[in-house]
Amino acid sequence: MSQKTDDIIAKDIQSSEKASASDLDQPTSLEQGFQGRSAASSKQILSVYFTIAAAGFGLISDGYQNNLMTMSNVVFKKLYPKEYTPTVSTRVSNGLLVGEIIGQVFVGLICDRIGRKAALVATTLLIVIGATLGTAAHGAHGSVQGLFWFLAIARGITGVGVGGEYPASSTSASEAANERTVKNRGPVFIMVTNFVLSFGGPLAVSVFLIVLSAAGENHLPTVWRVCFGIGIILPLTVFIFRMRMLSSQLFRKGAIKRRVPYWLTIKRYWRPLIGTCGAWFLYDFVTFPNGVFSGTIISSVIHNGSIKSTAEWQLLLGAIALPGVFIGAALCNPLGRRNTMIAGFAGYLVFGLIIGLSYDKITKIIPLFVVFYGLMQSSGNLGPGNMLGLVSAESFATPVRGTCYGLSAALGKTGAAVGTQAFTPIQNNLGKRWTFIIAAICGITGILITYFFVPDLTGKDLAVEDAKFMQYLIDNGWEGEVGEDDDKGLIAEAYNEKQLAGVEKEL
C-alpha cells in the first residue's frame, strides 16, 4: 500500500475517534472508520442545514408544478369547451410527466457523476425557464391548438427540472440528515420531501382561489397565467441555499465519477430495484391521475357548481390528504419502512373498494365522497408516498444512490403517464367507479411487491451499506478511484484485505 493511502486511512481513523456520540447516535467503529466524521467546521455544519432547507424549498416548487394543472384543467375546459378535448388535456398534463422521466434518469446520473450541487442548480434553472415559457404561452396567430402545444412543450421543459429535483434533492437531504442524526433521518427526510411535495397540492389550489377572487371568473385567462407565473418565483427562493451548500461527507468519500460499475450495481441491487421501481409505478399510476383530474372528478360530482366551488372542495380534499404524511413520519421508525409502506397500500385497497363499490350512492353525498377520496390519498401519503423516496435513498450505496433513485422515480412517473393516459378511457369504457376499483387492485399488488422486494434499513447508518458495497466491488475485481479531491484514493489500495478485516468483523 502506498504512503499516501496510509495517510488517508490514518487521517480517517484519527478523525473518527474525535466524533461525538451525539452526532453519531450510538456509533460503531465501522461508521467512524468509513465516514471519518470529525469536529466539522462551522461551514460544513451550516452546509448540512442549507442542504436540508434547499431540498424542502425546492420540492415545494415541484409539488406546486405537479398540482398546477388540477384547476387549470377546469379553467381550460371552461374557456375552450370544444378545443380542450380529453386528448388535448392528457397531452398537456403528460408534458410534465414525460419531462420528469427524462430529468429523473439523466439528473440521477449527473448528481452521481458530477455532483449534487451542480445537479440542483441545473434543475432550478430548468424549472424557471419552463415556468416562464408556460406563463407566456401563445399560439401562432392566436391559434388555440398552438397555445396548447406550446404549453405541452413548456411543461415538458419544466418537467425535466422537476424530475431532476427528485434524485438530486432527495439524495442530498438523506445524506445531510444522516450526518446530523441517523436515528431521526427518516422523519427529517419525509418532512423535507414528501410533506412539501404533498403541501404543493393545497398550495396550488390556495393560490388559484386567491387569484380567482382578485381577478374574478370573467378574467380566467389572467387567472391561469398568474398561477403559472407564481411557479417562476418559488424555485428562485432556493438559489441562496444551493449556492452555499457543500457535498456531503458520504459523497466526498464515496463518489465514483469514472468507470462506474453499473453491471455490478445491477447484480447487487436487482431485488431492491424491482421493489422501488414496481411500487413507485403502482403508486404514481394511482395518485397522479387522481390528483391531476381530481378537480374534473369533483366538478362532475357537484354538477353545476362554479369553478370557485370546485376549487374549495379540491382544497378540502388536499387538506384531508396531508395528515397521512405526519402519521407516516411518526410510524416509519417504530413500525419500520416496509410495514409502513404496506399499511399505506392497504389504505388504497380499503378506501378504493369503498368508493368504487358504492360510487353511485356515495357521490350523491358530496362531503362524504370528498372525505373518503381524501382518506384514500392520505393513505398513499402515509405509505408509499412517504416511504418510496426514503427507501430509495437508503437502499443503495452513495456512489450509485442518485442513479438508482432516479431510475426508481422515473419508473414511477412512467406509471403516472400511463395512468393519466388510461384515466379517461377507463372512465368512458368501464365507468367512473373503476378508477377507484383499479386503485384497490394496485393496493394489493403494491403490498405483495413491498413485502417480497423492498428492504427495511430503519435506523441503519448509510455508511454501513457504503462499506459493504466497497467490499463487494473488491470481491468482484473492480478497481478505480473513489472520493472527491483530498478524499480521493484507489479502492484497490484503500480497501485491501488487511483494512477490510475490521469492516467484516463489524458487518
User: How far apart are the C-alpha atoms of 470 and 483, rounded to whole Å?
Assistant: 12
The cell for 33 is 472508520
Average pLDDT, the chain: 82
User: How far apart are the C-alpha atoms of 91 and 129, rounded to whole Å?
Assistant: 20
- Residue whose C-alpha is closest to residue 318's, from 416, 202, 415, 471: 202
Q: Mapping DSSP to helix (H, G, I), strand (E, B) and coil, where does residue 20 land?
A: coil
Block residue for cell numbers 415559457: 133
Place 103 in a pLDDT band, splitting at 50, 70 and 90: very high
pLDDT of residue 44: 66
Q: What DSSP character marks residue 115?
A: -
**How confident is the model over 471-498, as a mean pLDDT?**
68
pLDDT of residue 32: 44
Query: Where is 88: in which H helix or E strand?
Result: helix 86-113
User: How far apart are the C-alpha atoms of 50 and 271, rounded to whole Å?
Assistant: 34
Place 222 in a pLDDT band, splitting at 50, 70 and 90: very high
Q: Write the CATH number of the domain with boundaries 42-246+254-464.
A: 1.20.1250.20
- Residue whose C-alpha is closest to residue 451's, from 333, 277, 275: 275
- Residue whose C-alpha is closest to residue 38's, from 142, 132, 179, 191: 179
- Residue whose C-alpha is closest to residue 338's, from 412, 395, 265, 261: 395
The residue that leads in pLDDT, 227 or 312, is 227
CA 127 to chain CA centroid, Å, is 15
What global pTM score does this model have?
A: 0.79
**How confident is the model over 236-263, as a mean pLDDT?**
81
* Tens-digit pLDDT profile for residues 18-37: 433 334 344 443 344 444 44
φ and ψ of 160, to 5 deg: -60, -45
CA 341 to chain CA centroid, Å, is 15
The residue that leads in pLDDT, 417 or 290, is 417
Partners of 345 in the beta sheet? none
Place 114 in a pLDDT band, splitting at 50, 70 and 90: confident
User: How far apart are the C-alpha atoms of 174 and 59, rounded to whole Å?
Assistant: 14
Where do the structural domains in the chain lie, given as residue ranges? 42-246+254-464
Report which listed range, 51-55, 72-76, 405-409, is most confident. Answer: 405-409
Up-side HSE of residue 181: CA atoms within 13 Å toward CB? 9
* Tens-digit pLDDT profile for residues 429-465: 888 889 899 999 999 999 999 999 999 988 888 989 9
- Measure the CA dihedral 348/350/354/355, to 10°: -10
Q: What DSSP character marks residue 482?
A: E
User: How far apart are the C-alpha atoms of 336 and 343, rounded to whole Å?
Assistant: 11
